[in-house]
A and B are shown apart, each in its own frame.
Chain A
Amino acid sequence: MRWGMVVDLGKCMRCHGCVAACRVEHFLPLGITWPRLIAWEKPAEELTTFPVRCNHCQDAPCVKVCITGATQQREDGIVWVDQDKCVGCRYCIIACPYQNRTFLSKDKDTGYFPGYELTEFEKAGKRSYPHTVGTTEKCNFCMERIDDGISKGLKPGVDRDATPACVNACPSRALTFGDLDDPESEVRRLIYSYMGFQLHPEYDTDPSTYYIDKGRKGV
C-alpha cells in the first residue's frame, strides 16, 4: 500500500480551497501553509499557478538527513514529522528539493490577531492539534483521518471521512487520493490515462504526488 495524490492542473481553478481546508483541519498557525499555490506571471501570458505540497517521496531526502529520526516514513509511504523528536536543525528544509517544509518560528505563531486574545478557533487548535514552535512542519496527507477512517472500515480516497481534507474541499475535483499500489485505484487510472508526471524525477526521490493535465490525454 502506498498513498498518493494526483493533481489535475487542468481542473485546478486557483480557489485556494485546499489551502483553507488544510488550515482548518490542522489548526495551522498563520505563518504556516502546508499545501501552497505558487503563482507567477510571464510576459504576454496570463497569471499561472501551480499547486504544490509535500510529495511524500518514497526515497525521501528529508528522512535520510533528519538528525534525530523525527522525520519518519510509514509503511504506507506517508512521511511525517514527530514534533516531540525534532530539534529544529532545518537540515530537512535545505535538503528537500521541493521546498515543502517550513520551520515554525515564534513570529509565525503570533495568533490571527497579534496583540489580542486568541480566538476560540485558535484555543481549540492549541488543545486538539498543538504545533510546537522551534520544529519543522509539513503536510502529512491527513494521516489521522486516514488511520481513523481505516479503523472504521472506510476506504481512503473513496470515503470522505478517510480522505485528506484538501481533497474533500476541492470544488473542481482537481485532487484525487488513493493507493498507488492498487492497479484498480482511481489515482493509478488517472496517472496511466493522462501521462501523470512527478516533479523533478531526476532526483530519484520517487514522489507520491503526481500531476496530470487532462488537456493532453495520453494512451
Chain B
Amino acid sequence: MALRQWMVTHEWMVKPTAQTEWIERRGILVWIAEVFTSLGAGLYLVSLYFNNWWGMLAGYLIIMCLKLPPHLIYFGKPLRFWRTLIPFTDSWKTSWFTRGINFTVYFGTIVFIQLVVGYIAINVYPGTVWETWDIVLRVPGGILGFLVGIYSGFIMSYCRSVPFWNTAMLPLILIIAGVTDGLALMLAIGLVDTSVDISAVEFVSRILLIVNIIFIAAYVWNATYISKTAKYSAMLLLKGKLAPVFWIGVITCGIISPLVISVSSYFSGDASSPLLITAIGFHTVGAIALKYILLKAGIHNPILPVKTSAYY
C-alpha cells in the first residue's frame, strides 16, 4: 500500500501505445508533408501521363514548396539537413528515410531541368530536338516522381514496432491514393486549362477510386488478423475514436462522393464545373484524412513479453 503512495501507475507500453512523434504537436508537420507528398507526386505522374506541362509544374511546386519545407522544419536540427544527403552519409543502404530525402532532392533537380526544357520545347522551339530532350528527361522525372510518392509507405512499413504499418500493402495504398489525388488535381487544372481531357481523367479516376477502396478494405481487413495490436489499430478506424475520420473523411468524402459524382457524370454525359469542384474538394479532404488516420493509428506493441492479451 505504501508503494502506491509514491509510484504512479500509467499505461505507457503496458497497453498498446500510440506513436505520437509523427502526428502530435510538431509531428503535425509530418502529416502535412505526407499530404503534399501524395498530392504533388500524384499530380506530377498524372500530368506526365496526360502530357500537361502546367500540371507537372504544379506537382513540382507542391513537392518542393509544400512538402519539403514542413519535413525540414519538423527536424530537431534542420540545419543539419545536409547530413542526410549522399555523399555525406551512407545510410541510404538501410534507411528508407535517407533514400526518400535523396529521391526528393534528385526529383527537384531533374524535374526542374525537365520543366525548363519542356517549356522551351512547347513555347520557344516546338518540333525541334528540345522536344526529344524533354521526353528523355521525363523518364527519370517519372521514376523519381514515383519514388517520391511511394517512399513514405516504405518508411512506415519498415517499422516492425508498429504492426498496423508493417505490411507491404502500405506503400501500394499510398502510391495509388497519391495518383488518385493527382487525378483530382488534374480535374482542377482542367477547369482552367481546356487542353485537359476531362472525360479521360474521370475515366481513370473512376477505376482508381474503385481500386483504392478495394486496397483500403483489404489493408484494414488484413490488419485484423496480423496481430492483436494491428487489430486494435484497425478497430480504432472501424469503430473506435478514429471512426468518424475514417468513415466520413476517407471513405465518404475521399472515395464514395467523388466516385458517385464521377459515375453520375458518366451517365449524364458531362460534369458541370460546380460538381467537379465539389468532387475535387471532397477528394482533397479524403487525402488529408487518409494520412491522418494512418499516422494516428500507428500503435506500438506493448513492451511486456507475456500475458499482454490481458491488457486489451
Question: Would you call A86 an interface residue if the criterion is a C-beta within 8 Å of the partner chain's C-beta atoms?
Answer: yes
Tell whether A68 pairs with B21 under 8 Å between CB atoms, given A103-B76, A134-B77: no
Contacts of B89 in A (CB 8 A): 67-69
Q: Is B91 touching A67 in the complex (CB atoms < 8 A)?
A: yes
Give the most central of B13, B76, B84, B311: most A CB within 10 Å: B76
Q: Is A64 touching B161 in the complex (CB atoms < 8 A)?
A: no
- Shortest Cβ distance from A29 into chain B, in angstroms? 14
Contacts of B9 in A (CB 8 A): 39-41, 47
Question: CB-CB contacts of A168-186 with B at 8 A, as 1s and 0s?
Answer: 0000000000000000000
Q: Is A52 touching B161 in the complex (CB atoms < 8 A)?
A: no
> Which residue in A94, A105, A199 is a CB contact (below 8 Å) of B303?
A199
Residue of B nearest to A46 (CB): B3
- Shortest Cβ distance from B34 into chain A, in angstroms? 13
- Shortest Cβ distance from B100 into chain A, in angstroms? 9
Q: Is B301 touching A97 in the complex (CB atoms < 8 A)?
A: yes
Q: Is B303 touching A50 in the complex (CB atoms < 8 A)?
A: yes
Q: Is A39 touching B7 in the complex (CB atoms < 8 A)?
A: yes
Question: CB-CB contacts of A125-137 with B at 8 A, as 1s and 0s?
Answer: 0000000111110
- Shortest Cβ distance from B167 into chain A, in angstroms? 15
Cα A201 to Cα B301 with chains together (Å)? 13
Q: Is B81 touching A40 in the complex (CB atoms < 8 A)?
A: no
Cα A38 to Cα B158 with chains together (Å)? 27
Cα A12 to Cα B83 with chains together (Å)? 42
Question: Would you call B142 an interface residue if the criterion is a C-beta within 8 Å of the partner chain's C-beta atoms?
Answer: no
Cα A69 to Cα B11 with chains together (Å)? 32
On chain B, which size bracket covers the interface?
35 or more
Q: Is A97 touching B300 in the complex (CB atoms < 8 A)?
A: yes
Question: Would you call B155 an interface residue if the criterion is a C-beta within 8 Å of the partner chain's C-beta atoms?
Answer: yes
Question: Would you call B8 an interface residue if the criterion is a C-beta within 8 Å of the partner chain's C-beta atoms?
Answer: yes
Cα A76 to Cα B17 with chains together (Å)? 32
Q: Is A88 touching B91 in the complex (CB atoms < 8 A)?
A: no
Contacts of B12 in A (CB 8 A): 38, 99
Q: Is B22 touching A65 in the complex (CB atoms < 8 A)?
A: no
Contacts of B158 in A (CB 8 A): 65, 95
Residues 11-59 (chain A) with a chain B CB within 8 angstroms: 14, 37-42, 46-47, 49-50, 52
Which chain A residues have a beta carbon within 8 Å of chain B's beta carbons?
A: 14, 37-42, 46-47, 49-50, 52, 61, 63-70, 85-91, 93-99, 103-105, 132-136, 197, 199-201, 203
**Can you report 14 residue pairs joining A to B where beta carbons are below 8 Å apart?**
A38-B13, A38-B303, A39-B7, A39-B8, A47-B7, A50-B303, A65-B94, A68-B80, A70-B83, A93-B21, A97-B301, A105-B76, A135-B77, A203-B161
Which chain B residues have a beta carbon within 8 Å of chain A's beta carbons?
A: 3-4, 7-14, 17, 19, 21-22, 26-27, 74-78, 80-81, 83-84, 88-91, 94-98, 101, 155, 158-162, 298, 300-301, 303-305, 310-311
* Extra pairs beyond A38-B14, A69-B89 (16, CB < 8 Å): A38-B12, A39-B10, A41-B9, A46-B3, A49-B7, A63-B94, A87-B78, A87-B84, A90-B27, A91-B95, A97-B160, A98-B303, A99-B13, A103-B21, A105-B76, A136-B76
